[in-house]
Amino acid sequence: MTQVTEPTVLAALRQIEDPDLHKDIVTLGFIKDVKIAGGDVSFRIVLTTPACPVKEQMEEAARKLVGALPGVTSVQVTMDAEVPKGRGFGEKLTVPGVRNIVAVSSGKGGVGKSTVAVNVAVALAQDGARVGLMDADVYGPNVPLMLGVGDLRPRINGNKLVPLDAHGIRLMSMAVLKPGDEPMIVRGPILHGLIRQFLQDVEWGELDYLIVDMPPGTGDVQLSLAQLVPVQGAVLVTTPQEVAVADVRRALRMFETVSVPVLGVVENMSYFVAPETGVRYNIFGEGGGEKLAEQYGVPFLGAIPIGLDVREGGDTGLPIVVSNPDSAQARAFRHVAEEVARRVSIEALKPELVILGKAR
């Protein structure tokens, strides 16, 4: 009987290439804990995100390739994930335990930026990632209401605020610190201090992703976040009409100016499908977000259809990915979440890929 060896198993697995990193999964170090007992082979495939959209295909390919080796009688593949830590930039602060910070931003209000941030965060958590959501929209902090925890208050552990738990994610917002309808009237330097406190004085714990819901526009909060911490990337939310796209262009340029990579563009309220007829209506125009992404050479992360369930979920504290996971809107949000996770991994591994390229 042919003896199975670890080198032959790894040689077979080298045929599987990561579609984003463009190297085989053995070279990338994804294969761990190879064990061989006679003809029984087991190993782990450790991906860069639990939200990887091709993990099932990788598992199936690995099982088939190794199973076809002479002498192999059984193959056990365990799929796992370890989100890489984002790159640090200069002297910026780090947030202990947080591996990647992702800003969700828009050039103007009313495009559903918070809805995107909430549903993407919850979708990542549903995939098994450790996720925090920081509501940095100081003037209009609506995220606690959208997650159903608007009446709760954070507790204090020592000198740290403990985030609220909602639908599997950790949340901090000015709305739970200063409840009621009293307006926030603060100037730039105070805003800078508030953002610093949300980053340093909150007990975020171990997080794969800290999603930051930004206020609309290109003002003090955006600049403070970019100055304080190494933001792994920004997700820009727009609607199809030209007036929204024009504002996102300014936001895109702003992030370029402060050296924050743009992970991609999301087109929210992209179209409406009539439930009775199935006819698609482009209420706010067509393809503005996709054209913008193509124009500036950034990824298009997805189009999210408009739907009554999305609005109702925001009002009742049940995000659409929780309340109606099989809906077209929930599927679109999950797709966007997977794309965001992919882009974060690509950004985080860029230095390693350069080193690998030189070594080869």
**Which of these ranges, 66-75, 153-162, 205-214, 235-244, has the smallest mean pLDDT?**
235-244
CB 211 within 8 A of CB 98: no
- Please determine whether the domains at 6-81 and 101-355 fall in the same fold group of CATH: no
The answer on pLDDT for 357 being more than 50 is: no
Predicted pLDDT at 219:
60
**Which of these ranges, 92-106, 147-161, 271-285, has the smallest mean pLDDT?**
271-285
C-alpha to C-alpha distance for 58 and 247, rounded to whole angstroms: 40
CB 254 within 8 A of CB 224: no
CB 231 within 8 A of CB 103: yes
The answer on pLDDT for 343 being more than 70 is: yes
Domain boundaries defined on the chain = 6-81, 101-355
The answer on pLDDT for 359 being more than 50 is: no
Predicted pLDDT at 202:
92
3-17, 267-281, 305-319 — most confident range: 3-17
Predicted pLDDT at 59:
95
What 3-state class would DSSP assign to 354?
A: helix
- For range 221-233, the mean pLDDT: 76
49-53, 66-70, 217-221, 352-356 — most confident range: 66-70
C-alpha to C-alpha distance for 199 and 191, rounded to whole angstroms: 12
**Which of these ranges, 59-68, 94-103, 138-147, has the smallest mean pLDDT?**
138-147
- Give the pLDDT band of residue 84 (cuts 50, 70, 90): confident
Query: 101-355: what fold?
Result: Rossmann fold (3.40.50)
C-alpha to C-alpha distance for 48 and 76, rounded to whole angstroms: 20
Mean of the per-residue pLDDT values of the chain:
85
Residue given tokens 């040689």 in the structure block: 11
Residue ranges in the chain assigned as alpha helix (H): 6-13, 55-67, 113-126, 143-146, 174-177, 188-200, 220-228, 242-257, 288-296, 308-316, 320-323, 328-359
The CATH superfamily holding the domain 6-81 is Fe-S cluster assembly (FSCA) (3.30.300.130)
Write out pLDDT tens, residues 19-52.
888 899 999 999 999 999 999 999 999 999 998 8
- Give the pLDDT band of residue 179 (cuts 50, 70, 90): low
Predicted pLDDT at 182:
55
- Is residue 167 left, alpha or beta, with left meaning phi > 0 and alpha meaning psi from -120 to 50? left
Listed residue (168, 176, 173, 180) closest to 150, CA to CA: 176
